[in-house]
Chains A and B, each alone.
Chain A
Amino acid sequence: MTGPLDISSMTLQRPTVEEGLVAEEALLDMVCQGEISLGWLAWSPRDRGLVMPRRHERLAGFPEARARLAERGWPVRFRATGGTPVPQSPQVINVALAQRCRVGGSAAHLEWGYHRLGDPWCDWLGHLGVADSDLGPVAGSYCDGRFNVRIAGRKLVGTAQRWRRVRGCRDMALLVHGAMQVEGNPAELVAVVNDFQAGIGDPMRFRAERHIALREAIPGFQPETLDTLLARYRG
């Protein structure tokens, strides 16, 4: 069960941040239990939160930073995938893909996983008229990695993964997740992450101009067209 979310739905769902995160973990569980070999979720939260791996709890200053963000309407939530803090809000659309992978084949390593999510995303952007999208790092962006979806070198989609052994065999189950800011000014979300950075006493600050919201590239974007992205993940 994925709670209030329907798996492999072609429409965007609107859970809370917590419900969305729980549904993603449940999706991975379904692959691990052999109930499905492929599934996805597309969701945009109806509330807000700053989402990070649980290991951040160990950082000095975390309790104070958490309290400060909660006061400002950005409660901290924890996710199962790797990386660093990422803001979630109604401005953000998430796509999570879970798939069973055979160890020893080409489809059982992290680079393959990132391309499995990111290449169709770039193809979809091209279909919508964005010519200069690719995968790569974006220095100065929050939660940076080697496999962001970029537009003209700016970060549109942050990506992360979780891998789990399928019960009773050598196959692996992959959960790969992408978070894309669709509307609003990236400076608003970058400020939330920088607020957390200040709270934990980390001098690193992130730069809003290294991010891009989808509507800056596609002013007429409608969430209904997300089904043409999800269709690319079938099979």
Chain B
Amino acid sequence: MSATVVHSLWTTTAADGITKIPAPNIEYAQLSPVLIVLGAAVLGILAEAFVPRRGRYHTQLFLSVVALAAGFAAVVGLAAGGYGTTKKHIAAMGAIAVDGPALFLQGTILLASIVAVFTFAERKLDPEAHGNRVDSFVAQAAAVPGSDTEKAAVKAGFTTTEVFPLALFAVAGMLVFPAANDLLTLFIALEVFSLPLYLLCALARRKRLMSQEAAVKYFLLGAFSSAFLLFGIALLYGYAGSVSYAQIAEVVNGTVQNVDPALAETMGNDALLLIGGAMVLMGLLFKVGAVPFHMWTPDVYQGAPTPVTGFMAAATKVAAFGALLRLLYVVLPGLRWDWRPVMWGVVIVTMLGGAIVAITQTDIKRLLAYSSIAHAGFILAGVIAGTSDGISSVLFYLAAYSFVTIGAFAVVTLVRDAGGEATHLSKWAGLGRRSPLVAAVFAVFLLAFAGIPLTSGFSGKFAVFKAAADGGAGVLVVIGVIASAIAAFFYIRVIVLMFFSEPKPEGPTVAVPSALTTTAIAVGIAVTLVLGVAPQYFLDLAGQAGGFVR
């Protein structure tokens, strides 16, 4: 296209040009889950500005829980209205898909976030500071650790109630991420949920240096990976002349109509497609935490405040897998023979790498981080199945896994000594003799991670491996079972440590939580057992959700 024509796109006389631009047609009702959560996040910011300090905690907690519950109700309403099955379509001028997988994942993210917000709001674990109840978050984030400013802030009873609106912004981004139907929306949603998470990581009340270090690492590596994602988007845009998923898929499949000379030139250039696709995949695999893009996971999971770790481990993973599924199934199915071998390799090293390195860990949060890497590998095995069973098994696994994760990290917040949470594994020795209930609950979560029958981990793994085997990835299933066996070893080792070793005299104490954390753990246990004993209803639900709108 000549320079003058491009120039005229910008300089066409105003009256002529503007009347030709149609007003966008936005289906607000179908976007309501996202809009409710975003609106509540904005209200939360206003509450920070106008509500007196004393009342902020209760205002923010109420606002967040109500908004997330209302968002979930909106998702259920849309699903009941048939938007997941017969009426699935693409809303907001091609930007957002409203279909079964999107609604299922949005529902999962919202429910998991409600539970995570409960753990955010817990204020009974730390001893009271100067007569003020404190939560897991720093009194004043800007104060230097150990400085007089910080002591004054603690004495004045400050708390960082900004965590609630930050979490809501993150949730809003996560709701858009699996529903994004063009690459620009995908990138913006990624940043909308990542930026608040970087900040949340830096806000731990105890061990602040570690928390800040985790935030810097997460931020630098996250920004690095999103730059790769963006360059990949640029190359795919160059290849197809559009960022819409449908258009790119058409060009990849070679079924595109109206090929103009510029498109004819770029769509013949496979380098743009292959490099672009690989870089976009890289950005998503980073968020998922797959080997070789997993380096940030252990440090960030260990350093971040534990409630934030639980939230990140559960909700981010759900959102990122949703986006990955949509990319591979809607945009790049025509490229399957190119991405499958690569993803095979990623799955194998992720499953084995996560499971093997986890054995050597001595910190419970790092151990759970490596376990989450191994689980990312198991879920990826379902992703590459390439069938509708693959989609539904991944959806089910994500729903099961997210509640177990939040529950497990909630238990980690309970075991404490003078320095805050006692995360070193040696301190957990004999926990089962001191506090049998807490140890038993944690053991159930570990068994679910290990995939022992009658827990949700087993039904999830079974569904994913079955889909992978049916999809022609039998070798992966064998390797997956081996990795599961290796993983089971270190889960069981923790259980043995808790129940069959002598408690140390100077060992940690188990804090008695308020109803908030108790609810979070109880929901985790309930989901683990229900999805383990009677998974059929939920498997059907995930099965009905299968099928992306194109």
| Genuine A/B complex | no
Query: B residues touching A (Cβ–Cβ < 8 Å)?
Result: none
Interface residues of A (CB under 8 A from B): none
